[in-house]
Structure formats: C-alpha cells, structure tokens
Amino acid sequence: MADIIKLLPDHVANQIAAGEVVQRPASVVKELMENAIDAGATCIKLIVKDGGKTLIQVVDDGSGMSETDARLSFERHATSKISSAQDLFNLATKGFRGEALASIAAIAHVDMQTRTAANEVGTHLKIEGSKIVSQEVIATPEGTSISVKNLFFNIPARRNFLKSTQVELRHITDEFHRVALVHPNIEFHFYNNGSEIFNLPIGKHRQRIVHIFGSKMDNRLVPVSEETEVVKVSGFICKPEFAKKSRGEQFFFANNRYIKSPYLHHAVVAAFEGLIKSDTHPGYFLFLEVDPSSIDINIHPTKTEVKFDDENTLYAILRSTIKHSLGQFNVAPVLDFDHDPNLDTPYSYKEKGAVIPKVTVDASFNPFQEKGGSGGSFRKQSTKGWEDLYEGLGHQNDHNEFSSVVIESESEEQGTLYSGEGVEEHLASTFQLRREYVVSTVKSGMLVIHQNRAHERILFEKFLGEITVKEGVSQQLLFPLELSFNKQELAVVKEIHESLTNIGFVFDSLEKETVKVTGVPMMVPESGIGTVLDRLIADYMEGYSDGSISQAEMLAKALSRNLAVRTGDVLDSESQLMLVNNLFACKEPNLSPFQKITYTIISEGDIDKKFN
Ligand code: ADP
Ligand code: MG
C-alpha cells in the first residue's frame, strides 16, 4: 500500500489551531488587549461593531513593532516573550505561546498598523486567511492598532454558531471587565457601534471597580488585605447584604491574570457562611500575588483554570482573611434573609432626617418557624410588627402620610391580584394548609394547590399576554422614583425597555446611571419597585445568556417569580378562591413557568381506601 500520511499545509494547520484559541469574538478581544498590555501600553481603546462579528479593533500606545517583527508576529510560535522552557516558570507577561495573532489571522481579515519610537514611519499590514495581501509604509502614531474584521469568514460553521449580537457583546464586556479590573494603572476606552460605553481613567482598584460597576458599588465594598509568605491578598468583598441571587461580580486574579478557581471560590463562600442566604452569592474582587513558579497557568490557551502548588494553605488564608475583614468592618449579619420589599423604608421616608425609632420587637416572632427552611416572605402577617418598628417615626413626622403609604400598597396589591369577577360564583370552600397549599374540593376528590407555583403560573400568563399585546395597566407614581443602575444594568433595561413599557413601567429617560421611574405595573408595590427591577435584571442577565428562550418569556418568568405570593404568606379566603379560579383559567394550569407541578387531586377512591 502506498504511503498516505501528509503534512497539512500551514494555513490548514493554522485554521485548526485557531479553533482552540478563538472561540468567539470575546477571545479575540482578550488576546488583543493582553498583547497591548504586554507591549506596555498606558492607554488602550477597544472598538467593536455588532458584538464583534463585524469589527474588533484594539488601539494601544505601547512599544509598537519594527517592520520585521510586524510580519513575524503572525507566524505560529513567534513570540518575543519567552525564549526557553525555563522562562515558563517565571512569566511576567500575559502571552507567551506566540499563537494568538497567527490564529486570528487564519480566520479573519486583519489590518495592523504599528510603529516603534525608534522609527519615524510605521508598517501597515493586511492579512486575510493567513495570506499577506499588502504591506506598506505608513505614517501612524507610536503603538499598534489591530483591527479584525469578518471573523470566521472562511469557517461558515463557526460563524453560524455565534450567538446573538447581544450575547456576544456581553461576552466581550465580561472579557473587558476582567482585563480592565486588574489594570487600573492603564486607561481604557470601550466603544460599541460608535458610542463610548466605558471610559476608565487611571486610578486605584477601588475607583476602577466603581467606574465599571457604578457609583452605588462604592459603599458596598469592604477592603481585604493580608500578606503572608505564601500569598499576598488584596482587593474587596461586597457587604453581605448585597449578595445577589445571580453570580454577579465575582473576580479572582492571580498575578494580574483573571482566573477561575472553584476551590478558592469555596473559601470565600465559606467565610460568608451564616451571613448570607444559601442561594445568594457574595460579590468579590480579589487579587492574589504568589511566586510565579508556584502557579501553573499553562494548562490550556483559553482556559482560565490554574493550578497552585499549595492550594490548601491558600484556602485557609483566604477564608480567614475575609472573615477578618467582615468582622473588622463590623459587617453585621443580616437578619432579613429573604428581602421583603414591603419591609423597605417607604419611599417618602428615604430623604428625611434620621430619627431613631423606638423599637418594639415581638420577641416571640420567629419568621422561620412556619415551615422549615423555606424562608418565605411574610408579607401579610408581618405587617403589624413592621409598623411597630417605625413607631418613633410616626410621631415625629406626618403620621397620616405614613399610614396611607402602607394601606395603599397593601390594598392595591390585594386589589389587583384578587379582585374581579367570579369570586362569588365559586361555591366550593377553600382553606390554607401550612401557609403553603390551598385546599378545595372538586368533583373527583380533593384539590391541593401549591400557592406559590400556582400564582407564578397565573402571573406568568398574565405578563406574557401583556408583553405581547401591550395592554399592561400602569399606576402613575406621585413622586417619581430615582433608581441608580450601573452600565450593564442600564444596558439590560434598554434592551427590555419595550417589554417593560408594555407591562406598565414608565421611565422618563435611560441615558444616565440614574433613571427616573414615573409609572409601574399595578401589582408592583411602590416600596418594592427597586427590588423588583434589580431582581428582574439579574434574572434576565442570567437567563438570557444561554439565549434559548424569548425575551418576553424570560421577562414574564422573572416577573412572576418575583411577584408571586410565597410559601408562608397568609391568604384570606377571597384570595384563596381567586387563586383556584385564576389557575384553572390558565392555558397550562398544571405546571409552573419553571416546570414544577402546581396542583394535585387526591381522588375519592384514594380517600376511600384509607378507610378500608
Ligand atoms: P504572544 O503574545 O503569546 O507572544 P501573539 O501571537 O499574541 O503571541 O503575539 C506575537 C508577538 O507579536 C508578541 O510576542 C509581540 O512581540 C508582538 N505583538 C503582538 N501584539 C503587539 C502589540 N499590540 N504591540 C507590540 N507588539 C505586539
Ligand atoms: Mg498574545
């Protein structure tokens, strides 16, 4: 038999290797930004169009390249950063494999302009699918500008595999955050489709975090600092009361490189134990410095997992350091685990001077008594004790104003949830079991409804309808509410603005971090608007990133989840009846929007059997 093994031509080998390095536009962003940092840039501009599908450009003011280096930089295994295997154990640069540019050039149209300080003119190179199509001398500023167009133009399967522009943009933004957070000594600009979405001046870590995540972050941060022989830890954790339902801001950096480490993450979570609810996630920005030879970052070009020599020690140090910070900064445990919007200070009180309320607490009141671990919201029955908490306030300020706020939001909520036709028509009687189930009789036996899931189903269908037919009823706020969002949150609000308007939200402008809300859906209690929107945005970010369901469905789900009555809520008999009636008016009454069973019927036969 003839010999059959051939060496692959270079451009094919490059394309295959590119698959490893470049998975999506965000990978290109990461490689180009890291190269700019390695080149000593003090100012880096990132410019993208259409989620990076049309254009990704990085402009830096770093060292630039000579004509020869510019050409060489696109060769595989061409790097200026290491020269022997030994160097791998003492890396001071982000890159070292010499593969990124070769890979990117194999699968895109690349345009590079670069000049060093020593040269008066620079080099302009164009490469398409690994082929140099032109090389010219050019007048260009010191530094390098690389633009990458039409990513995956020659690999249609990969191109089709890209997610929506929004999703790709979100990945790029994540990558941008990771790089920008750890280099506060570099100025960054990020332009998307022509508008600047980040402008990050040089500053300290704390300022960088605040510039990226919004000014409300500033008073949430607690500094962390520890220096031992093994590791130097610095950075910030977020106060426990700002732990989120979604894994939002969690960042580890080791030797100035973003890393993922489930093990060290666990150390952080362990330090927060008892301070946050188990289904919430603490925010952190932690910078670790270890001896470069004690860390192996060489596992895979795009993986962010690392291996530390002495992980157990790191774990222990990290956990105790964070515990110490939490203690030192007097971050007290949060008692109100399941944050109930109705327990918030009513809006009209927010701006008033501090009056120390006379607190009378019902010592026997234990919110966890009702049902083991469910941590429901105790909306109805807790109202009384809550009013007592504000007793001092009531006398000093206009008493009526306060009580009207409470009554209004209560009655509105009840009104829109449960009033309507049909209550009297339903003759069967109902009762509530363990503040969790509503029980009623039907022809064939006994009906047991899970109140929370059933209400989620009812609200889900209601909101889904409103979003699509735009018929949500809005209640105008007497005093517009000012909410502050960070850039990503604002981007989400803009993205879902139309749907939010359809269900009754009214925003007066979405251009700044502070957004004025002038109207909300009827069923959102005024005091809970901020919380509902925050959760909505978090849910949306989490759910949308997998891109599998529609925006309307996503939103309807998030709203129903956040507004439905909970396990632990007491329902009066009218509400119980409405729940039964409305559930069976739904298109899919048997499942919650999260695919959980909403009700069951215990048949007469089953009951009879018990008496045999
Ligand atoms: P690596 O970063 O692993 O060395 P790359 O393919 O990313 O490999 O880059 C190859 C080489 O090109 C780098 O080692 C560096 O010398 C040069 N280079 C790339 N980008 C820049 C830049 N923005 N400024 C100066 N030199 C650069
Ligand atoms: Mg590189």
> Nearest ligand, CA of residue 122?
1
**Domain parsing of the chain, residue ranges:** 10-87+94-203, 213-328, 403-612
Least-confidence region, from 326-335, 569-578, 579-588: 326-335
* Whole-number Å distance between alpha carbons of 188 and 180: 7
Nearest residue (CA) to ligand 1, atom 19: 35
Two tokens at 211?
A: 């510039």
Higher pLDDT, 110 or 302: 110
Fold designation for 213-328:
Ribosomal Protein S5; domain 2 (3.30.230)
The residue to mutate among 94, 101, 114, 298, having the most atoms of ligand 1 within 8 angstroms of its beta carbon, is 101
Ligand 1 atom at minimum distance from 73 CA: 12
Is the predicted pLDDT of residue 382 greater than 70, yes or no? no
Higher pLDDT, 144 or 401: 144
- The CB-side HSE value for 334 (13 A sphere, CA atoms) comes to 19
Range ranked top by mean pLDDT from 6-15, 177-186, 510-519: 177-186
* Whole-number Å distance between alpha carbons of 75 and 347: 62
Task: Indicate the class that CATH gives domain 403-612.
Answer: alpha beta
pLDDT tens for each residue of 128-142: 999 999 999 999 999
pLDDT tens for each residue of 303-344: 677 778 888 899 999 999 999 898 877 654 433 333 333 333
* Whole-number Å distance between alpha carbons of 382 and 365: 9
Per-residue pLDDT at 16: 78
Least-confidence region, from 167-181, 416-430, 464-478: 416-430
* Mean pLDDT of all residues belonging to the chain: 80
* Whole-number Å distance between alpha carbons of 158 and 161: 5
Least-confidence region, from 96-105, 196-205, 356-365: 356-365
Residue found under tokens 């509410």: 481
Ligand 1 atom at minimum distance from 35 CA: 20
> Nearest ligand, CA of residue 146?
1
Q: What are phi and psi of 104, to 5 degrees?
A: -60, -45
* Whole-number Å distance between alpha carbons of 194 and 148: 16
* Whole-number Å distance between alpha carbons of 170 and 158: 18
> Nearest ligand, CA of residue 98?
1
Pocket lining for ligand 1, CB < 6 angstroms? 31, 35-36, 38-39, 60, 62-65, 73, 78-81, 95-102, 144
Per-residue pLDDT at 30: 96
Least-confidence region, from 95-99, 230-234, 462-466: 95-99
Task: Measure 12 CA to ligand 1 centroid, in angstroms.
Answer: 22
Per-residue pLDDT at 521: 85
The residue to mutate among 28, 37, 38, 140, having the most atoms of ligand 1 within 8 angstroms of its beta carbon, is 38
Q: Are 42 and 184 in contact (CB under 8 A)?
A: no
Nearest residue (CA) to ligand 1, atom 17: 73
Task: Measure 98 CA to ligand 1 centroid, in angstroms.
Answer: 7
Per-residue pLDDT at 354: 40
Task: Measure 34 CA to ligand 2 centroid, in angstroms.
Answer: 6
- Residues in contact with 504: Cβ distance below 8 Å, sequence separation at least 6, in sequence order: 466, 472, 473, 474, 475, 519, 520, 521, 522, 524
* Whole-number Å distance between alpha carbons of 31 and 18: 12
Per-residue pLDDT at 425: 42
The CATH superfamily of 10-87+94-203 is Histidine kinase-like ATPase, C-terminal domain (3.30.565.10)
Per-residue pLDDT at 538: 82
Q: Are 467 and 552 in contact (CB under 8 A)?
A: yes
Q: What is the mean pLDDT of residues 383-395?
A: 31
Q: What are phi and psi of 108, to 5 degrees?
A: -155, 175
The residue to mutate among 27, 73, 94, 297, having the most atoms of ligand 1 within 8 angstroms of its beta carbon, is 73
Nearest residue (CA) to ligand 1, atom 13: 79
> Nearest ligand, CA of residue 116?
1
Per-residue pLDDT at 53: 94
Nearest residue (CA) to ligand 1, atom 12: 73
Task: Measure 79 CA to ligand 1 centroid, in angstroms.
Answer: 6
Task: Measure 34 CA to ligand 1 centroid, in angstroms.
Answer: 9
Task: Measure 309 CA to ligand 1 centroid, in angstroms.
Answer: 29
- Total Cβ atoms within 10 A of residue 277: 15
Task: Measure 262 CA to ligand 2 centroid, in angstroms.
Answer: 26
Q: What is the mean pLDDT of residues 569-596?
A: 89
- CA distance to 236, 246, 421, 526, 543, per residue, from 250 (Å): 10, 10, 49, 31, 18
- Residues in contact with 527: Cβ distance below 8 Å, sequence separation at least 6, in sequence order: 341, 342, 344, 345, 346, 347, 405, 409
Is the predicted pLDDT of residue 523 greater than 80, yes or no? no
Three-state DSSP class for residue 102: helix
Per-residue pLDDT at 501: 87
